Amino acid sequence: MYIPPFTISAEAINKIADISRLMERYAIRMEQEDALLLRKANKIKTIHSSLAIEGNTLDENQVRDIVNGKAVVAPLRQIQEVKNAIATYEQFPHLDAFKESDLLRAHGIMMQALVENAGQYRTGGVGVFSDEGCVHMAPPAERVPYLMADLFDWLKHSPDHLLVRSCVFHYEFEFIHPFADGNGRMGRLWQSLILSKLHPVFEHLPVENMVYANQQQYYDAITASSNAANSGPFIDFMLEEILKTLEAHKGNPIQVFPNKVTNKVPNKVPNKLLEAFPEIQAMTWNVYNMLRADNHLTTALVAEALGISDRMVRKHLTTLKEKGLISRIGSNKTGYWEISDVG
């Protein structure tokens, strides 16, 4: 059996243990009342992140509108990319991470109407280029079917931990670059799919979101592994991203308030805050509660959950900032909300 070259560092072993511990905490969250919100929020974020990495300029609001069946004014190709991604992620529960035929089927859906040979391996040479020239020339097209067959055989039969196998597969997939287009989004999708076999939480905590916030480090890790002819650096990077993501989402459950009850003050707001800020509206407290539960939520996702406009969410955020209850750390793209419960 072919075995891809990789080493597992002591640091990686420690991260695997930490990830295993945190998975169960996140799983408990997914069983609570906010599960549907988290799944829908992550679906929108995942599709946006995966396509933004590849140069799609639609923002989260536009992706959300397409998910909800609304009309969006944007380049037709970019709209098609979003629709294809939606269709592909809807197939997620029905895809077998260990079947090569399912990879081809998923690529056919992901790239429908975007490339002529969707769902088929490339028949010509491809390379990865930067401003400085070619940084990676993929193996010849005639070798691709054999390389992919070997990779899937190893994935299915290797005794290594699935966390490790998912990272190695992701790196090797990008090295082979089996398709004429869509390799990046398919590699990230497939690592998420492999991880979902380890634990279902990864269906709702996808790799795409992790990579989007750290694109340069992601490409640097791929380059480092290529230079070393060993996917060890990429394993270390991805395990760190998985660990950080689980850490960021281990908070309290989000209290979801549908439109019919949004005029009620949520019962999870500390009494000392209600007494200190009696002038704050119930909906503002709803926004505050959501950010306490997940301080990486975007304005668009909060609006989606509460059934109000983005403009109104921003108004509530301004109120919370003026009262010293929240502050923004970092950029809108990669930052997060720092939450205070003292005012």
Q: Residue 65 maps to which CATH number? A: 1.10.3290.10
Residue 59 and residue 48 in contact, taking contact as beta carbons nearer than 8 Å:
yes
In a domain, 4, yes or no: no
For residue range 238-279, what is the model confidence (pLDDT) as tens digits? Answer: 999 999 888 876 654 444 434 333 445 555 677 888 888 888
Which residue did the predictor score with more confidence, 139 or 274?
139
Backbone angles phi, psi at 82, to 5 degrees: -65, -45
How many domains are there within the chain? 2
Q: Say how far apart CA 249 and CA 195 lie, in whole Å.
A: 17
| Dihedral sign computed on CA atoms, order 146, 147, 152, 157 | positive
Residue 50 and residue 37 in contact, taking contact as beta carbons nearer than 8 Å:
no
Same domain, yes or no, for 118 and 243?
A: yes
In a domain, 254, yes or no: no
For residue range 155-192, what is the model confidence (pLDDT) as tens digits? Answer: 999 999 999 999 999 999 999 999 999 999 999 999 99
Exposure string for 104-124, b = 16+ CB within 10 A, e = fewer: bbbbbbbbeeebeebbebbee
In a domain, 72, yes or no: yes
Same domain, yes or no, for 91 and 191?
A: yes
Average pLDDT over residues 285-294: 86
Same domain, yes or no, for 278 and 225?
A: no
Same domain, yes or no, for 82 and 150?
A: yes
pLDDT at 261: 36
Helix (H), strand (E) counts: the chain? 15, 4
Same domain, yes or no, for 289 and 230?
A: no
Average pLDDT over residues 226-241: 96
Lowest mean pLDDT, pick from 18-32, 44-58, 158-172: 18-32
Which residue did the predictor score with more confidence, 323 or 107?
107
Same domain, yes or no, for 264 and 242?
A: no
For residue range 72-101, what is the model confidence (pLDDT) as tens digits? Answer: 999 999 999 999 999 999 999 899 999 999
For residue range 308-343, what is the model confidence (pLDDT) as tens digits? Answer: 888 889 999 999 999 999 999 988 767 889 988 765
| Residue 271 buriedness (CB in 10 A; 0-12 / 13-18 / 19+) | exposed
Average pLDDT over residues 190-211: 84
Same domain, yes or no, for 167 and 240?
A: yes
In a domain, 117, yes or no: yes
**Which residue segment(s) compose the domain that 79 sits in?**
10-248
For residue 28, pLDDT beyond 50: yes
pTM of the model: 0.76
Q: What is the CATH number of the domain that holds 270?
A: 1.10.10.10
Residue 223's H or E segment, with its range, is helix 215-228
Same domain, yes or no, for 235 and 275?
A: no
For residue range 211-228, what is the model confidence (pLDDT) as tens digits? Answer: 888 888 998 999 999 999
Q: Count of CB atoms within 10 A of residue 237's CB?
A: 22
- Select, from the ranges 13-17, 22-26, 49-53, 134-138, the one with the highest average predicted confidence (pLDDT): 13-17
Backbone angles phi, psi at 67, to 5 degrees: -55, -40
pLDDT at 246: 84
Which single residue is written with the structure tokens 């923004």? 328
Average pLDDT over residues 29-39: 57
Q: Which of 134, 140, 168, 175 minimizes the C-alpha distance to 154? A: 168
In a domain, 2, yes or no: no
Q: Alpha helices of 9-132 — where are they, by DSSP H?
A: 10-30, 35-53, 60-67, 76-90, 100-110
| Residue 61 buriedness (CB in 10 A; 0-12 / 13-18 / 19+) | middle
In a domain, 5, yes or no: no
Same domain, yes or no, for 14 and 135?
A: yes
pLDDT at 187: 95
Rg (CA), the chain: 21
Residue 149's H or E segment, with its range, is helix 144-157
